[in-house]
Every structure is written in structure tokens, then in C-alpha cells.
Chains A and B, each alone.
Chain A
Amino acid sequence: MIATIISSGLAFSLPLLAMALSGIYSERSGITNLAVEGFQGFGAFAGAIAAVILQTMSSTGVSFGVSLLVAFVGGAFLAMLHALMCIRFKANQVISGVVVNIFAMAMTAYLTKHLNAALFGQSSDKLILNVAPRFTVPVLSKIPVLGAAFTNVYVFEPVIILVVIAAWFVMYKTRFGMYLRACGDNPQAVDAAGISVARIRYIAVALGGGFAGLGGISYAYSISSNFSANIYSGYGYLAIAALIFGNWNILPTLLACLLFGFARSTGYQIVLMAELPSAYQDLIMILPYVLTLVVLIFFSKRNRSPRALGIPYNKGQR
């Protein structure tokens, strides 16, 4: 039982972390990002399209790998719309985020139906994916209890871990990462150093969109094995709560994501163990959301968001 809690908890937490990373990159550069939900859905859609086309002609491994890559690109693509509206067109960043979400939902629902009809000649609002490949690490999985973390692991899990490590390195250990963080706190200083604030922000938001897309396609594979409108079930917002909890830093955000993931998988196991009817699963589904609110009550007050967050950069302003 504990084994299931650990393995399904991780499978939920890691994609959530990828989405939270999307918010962190964008918001640390000074662009409010409520569009994570839309980015992850659009990324998942792009990846799923690539997967269903490749599934017919190549092995699962190839279609899976390509779909992750395409999901990254898809998420980044939609993120450019958000960045363009926030940076070039100086739209209200909260509104832009909401608009991007609505736009992504409408667009993917329409395109899914249309492409299904065009490619496969069937009317369906789902893109059915192959079963996601899983693996078990030979020696480590034999460790008692903790071995579950290395058993039946989805391939996307190590991919996300690698991406997160790379993202952490870029943000805290490179020159670009320093500029990125400075854009969120003191864009004037970045400008004075002769670096384009807008350019750094475009890149940050686009990378963020890519991370969210990666998280989205992972959920499409693990939770439902298909892409449908169900991908928009609020996990993007859950990720935003996680990053606020983590004070816009990557490591504490990881802890928040693990907390949400394990709360969810523990709840499911309790329903199974107590042999409750499946309707009770709906009650369990509330857990992450209630937990988010409780966590925010304790952590919102002492939190410090990036100082220039949500303010369009204006060269003339001091």
C-alpha cells in the first residue's frame, strides 16, 4: 500500500513541479503567470497530436520521446502569446493569463475534434495515447519501502528531474539566470547593464511555457492515457499555489509539490482500503485544493513576491 502511495504520489508530484517551474521562471523575470493551466493544456495537445501521428508508424518509445519534445515546443509557443501581450502590448498580466487559458481551452477543443475528423475520419473529442512506457531500476527497487520510488517509474519522471536540475542550474548558477532574477526585482539595473529586459523576459516566459507543456503531456499520459478537455482540471493553478508556498524558489516548491502528490495518493488509497463506493473519490479529490488553501493561509503573509512582478517595464521610469 505504501509502495502505491509513493509511486503514484511521485507520478503526480513531478509533472506538477514542472508546471510550477513554469510559473517560477516567468514570475522571477517579472511577468505574472496565471496562464500555466493554458500552457500545460496546449503543450499536452501539441504532444498528443505528435504522438497519435507517430504511434501508427513507429515504436512507442519514439512516439513518446517526440511527444515530450513537441509538448515542450507547444507550451513555449503559446507562452509567446502571453509574453507578447504582457511585454509588447502592455496588457494587464492577470487578464492576459486568464485570456490565454480561455483561448487555449477553446483552441485545443476545436482542433482536437477537427484533426480527429481530418486525420482519422472519426468524430471524437479525444486523442488516444499509447500506454506510457515504465521501467524499474534493477538494484535500487529492492530497497525496502523506498524501493517503490524506483519501481514502475514512468519515463517522464527522470526526464522532468533532469529538466528541473538543469533549470535550477541555469537560474542560480549562470549569468542568464542572474539577469532573469534581476529582471523580476530590479529591471532598471538590468537595463543599465546594457541588457534588454524585454528579451530576457520573452525567453523566461517561453522556457516556462515549455516546462508547463512537459508537465501537461505527462499528465495526459499518466492520468488518462488520452488528451481531452479533461486536461484542464486546475492542476496549473495548483502549481501556482505550490510556487507561492515555495516563495518563488525551486527547492521549497519541490516540497510543496510532493506534499500535494502524497496527500492525493494517500487519499485514494484510503478510499480503496476502506472499500468505499467510487463516489467517495470525489471527496478525496478535494484534498489537494483544501490543502492549498490551508497552506496559503499560513504562507501568504510572510511571502515576498519578486518586486517588479506584474509591472510592465518602462525605460523612462525610475
Chain B
Amino acid sequence: MNDLDKKTSLLVRILGGERRQKVTIPVFAILIGLVVGGIVIAATGSNPFSSYHNILQGCGLAPKPSYGGKKGMITDFMDFLDFTTPMILAALSFAVSMKAGLFNIGISGQMLAAGFVSTVAIGYSSLSAGVAKPLVVLIGLFVGAAVGAFIGFLKYRFNINEVVSTIMVNYIFRYIVTFFINVYYVDPVSRQSKQIATASRLSLQKVPVGGYKMTIPLGVIIAAAAAVFVYIFIEKTKTGFEIKAVGASREGARYSGINVGRNIVLAMTISGGLAGLAGVTYFLGYVGSIQPGTLVSTGFDSIAVCLLGNCNPLGIIFSSLFISALDNGSVYMTSSSGVEFEIADVIIGVILVFSACSAFISYLIDKKTREGKEER
């Protein structure tokens, strides 16, 4: 047995069988990402352990040395949840498209479209909170679903690669929204769109609870409900099964009498709807305004989150919390130890590279275990 074989057999023992790999391979990818990130941080002259500790502190997962008035670990943690909510929804959105064998790269654009329409229609109105909040959610869901359906339609009717069309649509929305904000809705001081009315905001701001002033992200409830919905829809319904069949093999599904076109459009509609929800919880929840000229990175990072979570709703919740913690906590890391916050994205990138190779790792393990059995 040569050296490489020894290494792989060690890997087999650690990563375990097929069922265990669903958890162990993502964890393995995360560990490699953290180690590479740690090496980069160390190479640039900072202490990786204290940097990672800073990230936890920034998310309310470890106590900071000092807090401002009416702030504490719990308020940091609530802000962290507020930040994570859109990520969970966006990753669920990608997961649904993935099940149908499609890649919804346009989540950022769908988020923006949903957020913008809700902002203009409800955010600037004087409706009461009880009416405004449900309307925001419904409009977001509807706009996102409409965009998703359009992409699905292009795919099924004209055979347009959804990756290209979603990206074109991303940029179209980005420029249209930028135009309208700059011409009609800009706040001259912040250069963002005007802040929305409090009644329509999905994250309650500065609520006094037990001596703290904290954010209460109502979107968390939407995200949890969406995760349950996606699980039941994909795993327990006939339509969900059909979508999975289309994703596994379009030809096979067609031969067994499944309407491939309908399922492609449906999967993209649901995916778009979830992206729309991510959009309203981001723009009308976490931020409260829209910055013109940009697409939020959440839509792209959610691809990573979904892959890490094995496209499984429960896995996605865990991986969302992990990736968001890196992103959210990196701001505090920059202010307290001076490490560039972009390192968080580098770590995420490395994790992604390794989780993309997960199929190869399980193939390797499979081969090794079979060889092992034959020897015996």
C-alpha cells in the first residue's frame, strides 16, 4: 500500500458510509475552509484563533468585552437571526430549482424585484401594520414567483439555458431598479431608496425587552414555515416526486409519462416565490431600504449554502447559520482585530470548492471500501 492509499483509507474511516457522508463531507469541507482561512490570517500577521473568536462575538454567540447602552449578547444574536433569515429562504429557493435539475442563479435579481415592488407598493403607503405586513409578504411571494415562472417558461418553450437567462434578468432588474430609485425614490443623504414606513417592516426595530432594545425578525417564522413546506412538498407529495424525477433524468421522466415542461415551470415558480420571500425579508426586514446599483450577494452565497446543506431543508438551516455567521461576524472581526472582512468570502469560496468535489470524495470512498471488501 502506498502513501496515497493510506491517506484515502484514513479518509474512509473518518468520513464513514454513504448516510454518514451527507454530514461528514460538508463538515470536512468547512474544516478545510477554516484551516485555509486561518493560515491566510496567520500569514498576514494576525491571530486566527482570536479572529474566529471575534466572528462568534459579532454574532452574539460569545460575549464581547463591552457593550453599548441597552445592547448585549442577546441583541447581537437577534441581529444575527435577522441577517440569516433571507439566506435560509434564498438557499431553499435554490434547493427547489436544483431538485428539478435547474440552476436558479437569478435569486439576487428575483429578491431585488420582489423587494422593490413591495417597497413601492406598500413600504411608502400609510397602511396599518396589520394590513401592510401580510401584503408585503404576499406581493414579494407573487413577484418572485412571476419572475421564476418567466425563466421556467423560457427554458421549456425556447430551450434557453436558465443560467444565462437568470443572469440576464438579474442585470436587467439591477439597472431598472437603479434607474427608478435614482429618479423617484432616492434619499438625498444616504443615496439609498427612502426608508420604508415602520408599519410595513418585517423586522420589528428597537423593541424594549427585559432592559434591552432588540430587533425581532418576524421573517424567521416565514423561513421556518418555508423550510417545512419545502420538505413536505419535495419528499411527501406526488408533484414533488415528479419534479425530482425530472431533475434526475428529463428523458426518463418523459418516458414515464411525466409532463416535463409543466414541472420545470412549476419548480422555477416555487423557487422564484421563495426568492421573493428572501427579497422582502432582506429589503423590508433586515435593511429597510434598497441600495441602487448593486445585487445583494445573498443570492449567490445561497448556492454555497444549499450545496453545503445537501439541498436538504434541515441541512440548509444549519449551513445558513454557519455561512451567515462568517459573513455577519466578519464586520466585528475587522473592527476589533483589523483583519479584512473579505477573508470571510475567501473562506466561503474554499469551502465551496471542496463541497463541489464531494461527489468525487464519495466516489473515492466507495471505490476504496469495495476494494477493501474484495481483498478480504
Partner of A98, one of B105, B168, B350: B105
A279 at the interface (CB under 8 A from B): yes
- Whole-angstrom CA separation of A231 from B359 in the bound complex: 32
The answer to whether B170 and A234 have CB atoms under 8 Å apart is yes
Measuring CB to CB, which residues of chain B are less than 8 angstroms from any residue of chain A? Answer: 44, 103, 105, 154, 158-161, 163-165, 167-172, 175-176, 178-179, 182-183, 300-301, 303-304, 307, 340, 342-343, 345-346, 348-350, 352-353, 356-357, 359-360, 363
Q: Given A113-B342, A283-B176: A99 and B352 within 8 A (CB)?
A: yes
A300-B168 Cα distance, complex, nearest whole Å:
15
Q: Tell me, rounded to whole Å, the shortest Cβ–Cβ distance linking A210 to chain B.
A: 21
Nearest A residue to B165, CB-CB: A293
The answer to whether A168 has its CB under 8 Å from any CB of chain B is no
Are the CB atoms of B340 and A85 closer together than 8 Å? no
Q: By the criterion CB–CB under 8 Å, are A90 and B359 in contact?
A: yes
Q: Contact check, B160 vs A237: say whether CB atoms are below 8 A apart.
A: no
- Return chain B residues, CB-CB under 8 Å to A81: 353
Cβ-based interface call for A297 (8 A): yes
Q: Show 15 residue pairs from A and B whose CB-CB distance is below 8 angstroms, ordered by the A residue.
A: A85-B356, A85-B357, A90-B360, A99-B304, A99-B349, A106-B349, A234-B171, A279-B182, A285-B175, A289-B169, A290-B168, A296-B154, A296-B160, A296-B161, A300-B159
Q: Which residues of B contact A95 (CB under 8 A)?
A: 103, 303, 307, 356
Q: CA–CA, A35 to B282, complex, Å?
A: 28
Determine the distance from Cα of A237 to Cα of B340 in the docked complex, in whole angstroms. 29
In the A-B complex, the 4 residue pairs with the smallest Cβ-Cβ separation, listed nearest first, are A106-B345, A103-B349, A110-B342, A89-B360
Pair B349/A279 contact, Cβ less than 8 Å: no
Q: How far does the alpha carbon of A74 sit from the alpha carbon of B160 in the complex, in Å?
A: 31
Q: What chain B residues lie within 8 Å of A280 (beta carbons)?
A: 179
Measured between beta carbons, the chain B residues less than 8 angstroms from A240 are 164
Instruction: Indicate if the CB atoms of B352 and A103 lie closer than 8 Å.
Output: yes
* Contact in complex: B175, A102 (CB < 8 Å): no
Contact across chains for B353 and A241 when beta carbons are under 8 A apart: no
Q: Distance in Å from the Cβ of A115 to the closest Cβ of chain B?
A: 11
Q: Which residues of A contact B348 (CB under 8 A)?
A: 102, 106
If A34-B163, A234-B170 are given as contacts, then 12 extra A-B residue pairs at C-beta distance below 8 Å, sorted by A number, are A91-B360, A95-B307, A102-B300, A102-B349, A106-B345, A110-B342, A234-B171, A282-B176, A282-B178, A293-B154, A296-B160, A301-B158
Contact of A286 with B176 in the complex, beta carbons under 8 Å: yes
B346 with A293: CB separation less than 8 A: no
Q: Complex formed: what's the CA distance from A102 to B306 in Å? A: 14
The residues of B that contact A105 with a CB separation of less than 8 Å are: 345
Assess whether A296 is in contact with B357, with CB atoms less than 8 Å apart. Answer: no
Point out the residues of chain B lying under 8 angstroms from A102, CB to CB.
300-301, 303-304, 345, 348-349, 352
Say yes or no: A283 contacts B175, CB within 8 Å. yes
Contact status B345-A241, CB under 8 Å: no
Q: Which residue of A lies closest to B179 (CB)?
A: A282
CA distance A286 to B170 in the complex (A): 10
How far is A241 from B168 in the complex, measured between Cα atoms in Å? Answer: 9
User: Are B175 and A286 within 8 A (Cβ)?
Assistant: yes
Chain A interface residue bracket vs B: 35 or more
| Cα of A69 to Cα of B356 in the assembled complex, Å | 31
Contact B179 A283 (CB under 8 A): yes
- Inter-chain contacts of A233 with B (CB < 8 A): 171
* Cβ-based interface call for A96 (8 A): yes
A293 CA to B167 CA in the complex, in Å?
Answer: 10
Query: How long is the Cα–Cα vector from A301 to B179 in the complex, in angstroms?
Result: 33
**Measuring CB to CB, which residues of chain A are less than 8 angstroms from any residue of chain B?**
34, 81, 85, 88-92, 94-96, 98-99, 102-103, 105-107, 109-110, 113-114, 233-234, 237, 240-241, 244, 277, 279-280, 282-283, 285-286, 289-290, 292-293, 296-297, 300-301, 303
Q: Which of B160, B183, B342, B357 contacts A89 (CB 8 A)?
A: B357
Which single residue of chain A is at the shortest CB-CB distance from B159? A300
Task: Decide if A91 touches B356 in the complex (CB within 8 Å).
Answer: yes
Question: In the complex, A301→B159 CA distance in Å?
Answer: 6
Q: How far is the CA of A257 from the CA of B291 in the complex (A)?
A: 31
Bound form: Cα–Cα A109–B344 in Å = 11
Q: CB-CB < 8 A to A296: which residues of B?
A: 154, 158, 160-161, 164-165
A279 touches B160 (CB 8 A): no
Residues of B within 8 A of A283 (CB): 175-176, 179
Measured CB to CB, the closest approach of chain B to A309, in angstroms, equals: 11
How far is the CB of B31 from the nearest CB of chain A, in Å?
Answer: 18
Contact B182 A237 (CB under 8 A): no
A292 CB to closest chain B CB (Å) equals 5
B353 surroundings in chain A (CB, below 8 A):
81, 85, 99, 103
- By a CB distance below 8 angstroms, the chain B residues around A244 are 161, 164
A residues in contact with B360, CB < 8 Å: 88-91
Q: Is the CB of A241 within 8 A of B164?
A: yes
List, in ascending order, chain A residues with CB within 8 A of B159's CB.
300-301, 303
B356 near A92: Cβ-Cβ < 8 Å: yes
Q: Which of A107, A279, A297, A300 contacts B161 (CB 8 A)?
A: A300
Bound Cα distance from A54 to B275, whole angstroms: 46
Chain B nearest CB from A293 CB (Å) reads 5
How far apart are B357's CB and chain A's nearest CB, in angstroms? 4
How long is the Cα–Cα vector from A282 to B183 in the complex, in angstroms? 11
* C-alpha spacing A9/B161, complex, angstroms: 27
CA distance A90 to B367 in the complex (A): 14
Query: Do B163 and A109 touch across chains, with their CB atoms under 8 A apart?
Result: no
- Give complex CA distance A70, B212 in Å: 55
> Which residues of chain A are near B154, meaning CB under 8 Å?
293, 296-297
Residue in contact with B167 in the complex, picked from A114, A237, A282, CB distance below 8 Å: A237
- Which residue of B has the minimal Cβ distance to A233? B171
Q: How far is the CA of A154 from the CA of B348 in the complex (A)?
A: 38
Q: Give min CB distance, A313 to chain B, whole Å.
A: 14
Minimum CB distance partner of B343 in chain A: A110
Q: Which residues of A contact B349 (CB under 8 A)?
A: 99, 102-103, 106-107
Of chain B, the residue at the smallest CB distance from A292 is B168
In the complex formed, the residue of B with least CB distance to A301 is B159
